[in-house]
């Protein structure tokens, strides 16, 4: 090789080395500062099958509920939207509670005041959703429940959904707010309004716990029951058409008080409900979650619950 050739080679090697050093410097200057490894969160042990915090029967306070702020101030810490996880153990159930609602502010305060401590004693993870019907059209409980469940399922992988009238207060925390994996559970078995007796065997109104996949299998509730009555019996028929049975916890603790109330404006008994109930078998697969249409006007993460204001249209 000629002198000239060595010179070029040395020049080349020198430039390459320089480029390497420059790259290293640039990398050092512009790369992200070294972050310390995040501390792993302590892994909590699973909560006990039977919560040690249960107290059994405890009479709910039915009248003059505190303000939302007072309820919040005395509550254990909740995440926005009314989400709770037990602080000291890993919950075995995660339950979304969905309430059909319109214009029952004082019932809601009575309910929240009672239900948060009740559920916390059960050591479950839960969140409360209020499906609030916007406007003055006839009330539609089934459709509101469909909306609430669908929206709740967007937020989390709940192991359990509980559809819950706002005026029913559980009297005994042994009545677990969790789901059976194969069948819906009728939780409000014994209600004071019905002298703590089941009015008829197929009843599935009030408070019902159902696993999300079963709710989907039943195509949710019918959207067609405008006004009072029928949607709960239709729901019961859907369960039986899907080959499910109703689970009922013992009446010794599946007990509720209903806040005494008059019939609401906009929720008169539906004169067509018996007719509709004759058509459940024909319609259930095309009327329900898969035909649900609504406008979600707002979703507000309140301190004690998630409020969904929804335009579900009218009859």
CA–CA dist 223, 204 (Å, integer): 17
Burial class (CB in 10 A: 0-12, 13-18, 19+), 64: exposed
State yes or no: is 228 an active-site residue.
yes
State yes or no: is 172 an active-site residue.
no
Strand partners, 128: 97
Shortest approach of ligand UDH to residue 92 CB, angstroms? Answer: 28
Choice among 261, 264, 274, 281 that is catalytic? 261
State yes or no: is 137 an active-site residue.
no
Choice among 232, 233, 234, 287 that is catalytic? 232
Residue 25's H or E segment, with its range, is helix 3-30
Are 303 and 83 in contact, with CB atoms under 8 Å apart?
no
Nearer to Mn ion, 60 or 313 (CB): 60
Burial class (CB in 10 A: 0-12, 13-18, 19+), 141: buried
The entry of ligand UDH, Mn ion, none near residue 86 (CB within 5 to 8 angstroms by kind) is none
Shortest approach of Mn ion to residue 261 CB, angstroms? Answer: 6
CA–CA dist 282, 302 (Å, integer): 40
Shortest approach of ligand UDH to residue 191 CB, angstroms? Answer: 9
Shortest approach of ligand UDH to residue 125 CB, angstroms? Answer: 23
Task: Return the SS3 of 120.
Answer: helix
Task: Return the SS3 of 172.
Answer: strand
Nearer to ligand UDH, 256 or 284 (CB): 256
State yes or no: is 165 an active-site residue.
yes
CA–CA dist 85, 99 (Å, integer): 20
State yes or no: is 231 an active-site residue.
yes
Structure token digits, residue 179? 């789901």
Nearer to Mn ion, 167 or 232 (CB): 167
The entry of ligand UDH, Mn ion, none near residue 203 (CB within 5 to 8 angstroms by kind) is none
State yes or no: is 109 an active-site residue.
no
Choice among 192, 248, 258, 302 that is catalytic? 258
Shortest approach of ligand UDH to residue 230 CB, angstroms? Answer: 11
Shortest approach of ligand UDH to residue 160 CB, angstroms? Answer: 19
Are 107 and 167 in contact, with CB atoms under 8 Å apart?
yes
Binding site for ligand UDH (CB under 6 A): 99-104, 139, 141, 165-167, 228, 262-264, 266-267
Nearer to ligand UDH, 70 or 264 (CB): 264
Nearer to Mn ion, 132 or 167 (CB): 167
State yes or no: is 155 an active-site residue.
no
Structure token digits, residue 27? 């990398």
State yes or no: is 192 an active-site residue.
no
Binding site for Mn ion (CB under 5 A): 167
| Interior angle at CA 195, CA 192 and CA 197, nearest 5 | 105
Strand partners, 11: none
The total number of residues written for the chain in this structure: 315
The entry of ligand UDH, Mn ion, none near residue 267 (CB within 5 to 8 angstroms by kind) is ligand UDH
Contacts of 197 (CB under 8 A, 6+ apart): 190
Nearer to ligand UDH, 141 or 224 (CB): 141
Active site residues: 165, 167, 228, 231-232, 258, 261, 263
């Amino acid at each position: 090789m000629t002198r000239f050739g060595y010179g070029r080679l040395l020049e080349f090697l020198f430039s390459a080395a320089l480029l390497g050093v420059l790259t290293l410097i640039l990398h050092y200057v512009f790369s992200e500062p070294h972050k310390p490894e995040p501390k792993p969160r302590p892994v909590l042990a699973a909560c006990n099958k039977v919560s040690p915090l249960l107290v059994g029967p405890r009479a709910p306070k039915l009248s003059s509920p505190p303000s939302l702020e007072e309820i919040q101030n005395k509550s254990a810490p909740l995440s926005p939207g009314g989400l709770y996880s037990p602080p000291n153990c890993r919950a075995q159930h995660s339950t979304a509670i969905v309430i059909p609602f319109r214009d029952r502010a004082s019932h809601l305060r009575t309910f929240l005041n009672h239900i948060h401590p009740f559920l916390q004693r059960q050591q479950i993870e839960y969140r409360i959703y209020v499906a609030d019907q916007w406007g003055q059209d006839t009330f539609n409980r089934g459709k509101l429940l469909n909306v609430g469940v669908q929206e709740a399922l967007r937020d989390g992988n709940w192991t359990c959904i509980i559809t819950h009238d706002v005026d029913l207060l559980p009297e005994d925390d042994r009545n677990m707010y969790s789901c059976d994996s194969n069948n819906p559970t009728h939780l409000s078995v014994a209600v004071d309004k019905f002298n703590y007796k089941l009015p008829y065997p197929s009843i599935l109104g009030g408070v019902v716990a159902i696993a999300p996949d079963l709710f989907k299998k039943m195509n949710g509730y019918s959207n067609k029951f405008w006004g009072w009555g029928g949607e709960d019996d239709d729901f019961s028929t859907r369960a039986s058409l899907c080959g499910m049975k109703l689970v009922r916890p013992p009446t010794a603790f599946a007990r509720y008080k209903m806040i005494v109330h008059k019939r609401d404006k906009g929720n008169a008994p539906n004169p067509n409900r018996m007719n509709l109930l004759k058509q459940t078998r024909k319609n259930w697969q095309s009327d329900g979650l898969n035909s649900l249409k609504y406008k979600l006007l707002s979703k507000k993460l309140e301190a004690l619950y998630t409020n969904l204001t929804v335009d579900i249209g009218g009859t």
